[in-house]
Amino acid sequence: MEKRDMIYEGKAKKVYTTDNPELYIVSYKDDATAFNGLKKGAIAGKGAINNQMSNLLMRMLSEHGVPTHFVEELSERDTVVKKVSIVPLEVIVRNISAGSFAKRYGVEEGIVFDEPTIEFSYKNDELGDPLINDYHALALKLATREEIETIKAMAFKVDALLKEYFKSIGVDLVDFKLEFGRLADGTIILADEISPDTCRFWDSKTHEKLDKDRFRRDLGGVEEAYQEMMKRVRGK
Ligand code: ADP
Ligand code: UDP
């Protein structure tokens, strides 16, 4: 399978058409951004790590009954995926307080919740991805009530599976962002990526951060954290 035309270049990936109208090729870049594009940089080797980690995790999820866009890994950075129309919601699941949750509610990071939480952001760069509730998403026709229920159930299932998976490699899954899309027949599947760019990972023992927060917060050891996560996922 080969790339044809680049139809989209995002902050972390490029998306290409292929000779199959139902498939895209995504190509992962080393570019890194934070704070809605305000902070820019590069993380050497990130594209290859995020591509391969995301594919491994999506494979695991689909073995457990979660439908995903993953089709075939073509190379270190390139993957064939099912083409979807993205539901413009960033679906955020949290197990432990951190990031914008801690800031918004004035609590410390690291509070372990009794139950996971879910929230949506409206995927719109111009507006800075504002927080949105179900009713507003319905009013804006971003998704139907049924789709929102499907997405919530799938997101919590992904959380349960990922939490257990990461626990077995000594990592606490703090929070993460998912994106879902619709196939031509309307079926909702998991799309985009699952990687240290889109998840918060803390070492279970030391609580060391092993994710993009090292870049966001200038903590140093960014490349090393991505490599350490990849090493643990590979060793599983
Ligand atoms: P951003 O758009 O936030 O800068 P990326 O650089 O990761 O993000 O770009 C990848 C784009 O491809 C995102 O907009 C994402 O929603 C979209 N996407 C991910 N998976 C699929 C898919 N299977 N089909 C169509 N679009 C997808
Ligand atoms: N996240 C993401 N993309 C975004 C916003 C958030 O992948 O545009 C992920 C982020 O990596 C974290 C989770 O979603 O794992 C929750 O992020 P939060 O709302 O705390 O926002 P942040 O602190 O990143 O601004």
pLDDT tens, position by position, 7-66: 999 999 999 999 999 999 999 999 999 998 899 999 999 999 999 999 999 999 999 999
Question: Does residue 3 line the site of ligand 2, with CB under 6 A?
Answer: no
Task: Count the neighbouring beta carbons within 10 Å of the beta carbon of residue 73.
Answer: 16
* Predicted local confidence at residue 61, as pLDDT: 98
Q: Give the chain's mean pLDDT.
A: 97
pLDDT tens, position by position, 198-235: 999 999 999 999 999 999 999 999 999 999 999 999 99
Residue 36 gets the label, from left (phi > 0), alpha (psi -120 to 50) or beta, of left
Average of per-residue pLDDT across 91-114: 98
pLDDT tens, position by position, 119-145: 999 999 999 999 999 999 999 999 999
> 193, 70 in Cβ contact below 8 A?
no
* Predicted local confidence at residue 83, as pLDDT: 98
Nearest CA to ligand 1 atom 17: 192
What distance in angstroms lies between residue 198's CA and the mean position of ligand 2's atoms?
A: 6
Q: Which helix (H) or strand (E) element contains residue 3?
A: none
> 18, 81 in Cβ contact below 8 A?
no
Rounded (to 5) percent helix, strand, coil in the chain? 30, 35, 35
- Give the orientation angle of helix 222-235 with respect to helix 46-63, to 10 degrees: 30
* Predicted local confidence at residue 36, as pLDDT: 85
What amino acid occupies position 39? K
What is residue 43's DSSP assignment?
-
Q: How far apart are CA 74 and CA 123, in angstroms?
A: 28
Question: Does residue 120 line the site of ligand 2, with CB under 6 A?
Answer: no
Question: Does residue 99 line the site of ligand 2, with CB under 6 A?
Answer: yes
Find the Cα–Cα–Cα–Cα dihedral 195, 198, 199, 203, rounded to 10°.
60
> 18, 80 in Cβ contact below 8 A?
yes
* Predicted local confidence at residue 236, as pLDDT: 85
pLDDT tens, position by position, 159-195: 999 999 999 999 999 999 999 999 999 999 999 999 9
